[in-house]
Amino acid sequence: MAAKMSGSVFRGWLGALLLAAGVGAWAAEAPRAGYAVVSLIGDKLSVVTHEASTGTTIERNRTQTLPVGGGVFDAEAMTQAEVSLKRLDAGARVTLYDLSSPAMFEEQDRFFDGGRLKFSPAVVEAMRKDGATHLVLITKQLSTARLQAGENDSLGSGYLQGLGFYIDRAVGMIRPTTGETGRGFFAPYVFAKLSLIDLASLEVVSESRIKANYSSASVGVAQSPDAWDALTPKGKIDALKELIDEHVPKAVEALIAPRP
C-alpha cells in the first residue's frame, strides 16, 4: 500500500524544490567576477643620481636606464595581484596576460581617454572570451621624488617613474638610535598605478597608487665611499621584489574595496 503524503508536507516539499530551483537559476545568471591582470612596469630600471651644481642652488638628476629582460618584475607584480584577488574572492577567476611588447611600456597615458580604456579591441575581446569581467592594469606612475630615509620622509628632487634606484651621494645622514653620521643614501623605489576597468563598458572603476621605497643610508659601519654600494647586485633586485610583494597586494585591496 502506498504511503499517504499530507497536503502540508507536500506543499512544503514542493516549495523547497521551487526555492532550490530559483536559487540555482539566480546563481547561473550571476557568475563570479573574472579578472584579467596585466603589468607594464618592468621593462627597465632607472638609476637616478642627484647632482647639485657647485656654487649654485640648481639641482639636477642624471638618469641612466638599465634594460630588464624576461619580465621578472612584471611577473612578480601579476603574481602578487593574483594572490590578493583570490584572497579577497576565493572563487574569482584570475588570468595573467603577457603584453610586454616594447611599445606597451611607453606613453602609457594613451591607454586612457576620458576615464575609459583605449586598448586594442582584439585584446579586450580575448579577455572577455576568457571569462574576464574586469581588468587590473598596472602601469608606471610619474610622481615627485619624495623618498623616506631614516627619519626623513621628503628626501629627493625631481620626478621618478616605474622601477629604479635613487642615489644621493652628498646629503648628510644621521642614525637617530646611535648618533652615527655619514653622507649619502641609496633608495630602490616603485612608483606605479593600478586601474580597475569594467571590460563591458571599458570604464575605469577605481584607481590606486604605489609610491614606495626602501632606503639604505651610508652611516656608521655601513658607511661606504659610494652609496650605490650599499646593496649587492642581488640585494638591489631583491629590494625591488620586496617592495612589489609588500605594496601590490595593498594596492589591489584598495582597488577592489567596496565604495561607500
Is the model more confident about 131 or about 53? 131
Q: Residue 43 falls within a domain, yes or no?
A: yes
The runs of H, that is alpha helices, within 50-120 are 72-88
Structure confidence at residue 238 (pLDDT): 96
Structure confidence at residue 241 (pLDDT): 98
Structure confidence at residue 174 (pLDDT): 58
Which triple of cell numbers denotes residue 228?
A: 650605490
Closest CA to 138 of 184, 231, 71: 71
Confidence bin at 80 (pLDDT 50/70/90): very high
Total of domains in the chain: 1
Q: Residue 6 falls within a domain, yes or no?
A: no
Is residue 12 classed exposed, middle or buried when 0-12, 13-18 and 19+ CB atoms within 10 A define those classes? exposed
Q: pTM (2 decimals)?
A: 0.82
Is the model more confident about 232 or about 121? 121
Q: Residue 167 falls within a domain, yes or no?
A: yes
Which residue segment(s) compose the domain that 129 sits in? 11-256
- Per-residue pLDDT, averaged over 57-84, amounts to 91
Using the predicted structure, report yes or no on whether residue 23 has a pLDDT greater than 60. Answer: no
User: What mean pLDDT, rounded, does the chain reach?
Assistant: 83
Structure confidence at residue 14 (pLDDT): 38
Domain containing 102 — which CATH number? 3.30.160.180
Q: Residue 204 falls within a domain, yes or no?
A: yes
Q: Residue 104 falls within a domain, yes or no?
A: yes
Confidence bin at 25 (pLDDT 50/70/90): very low
pLDDT digits (tens, 9 = 90+) for 135-150: 999 999 999 998 876 6
Structure confidence at residue 63 (pLDDT): 94
Structure confidence at residue 53 (pLDDT): 61
Asked if residues 165 and 217 have their Cβ atoms less than 8 Å apart, the reply is no
Asked if residues 133 and 199 have their Cβ atoms less than 8 Å apart, the reply is yes
Q: Which residues are registered as beta bridge partners of 180?
A: none
Q: Residue 127 falls within a domain, yes or no?
A: yes
Closest CA to 242 of 216, 221, 220, 213: 213
Q: Residue 5 falls within a domain, yes or no?
A: no
Q: Residue 3 falls within a domain, yes or no?
A: no
Cβ neighbours around 92 below 10 Å, total = 17
Using the predicted structure, report yes or no on whether residue 42 has a pLDDT greater than 60. Answer: yes
Cβ neighbours around 152 below 10 Å, total = 16
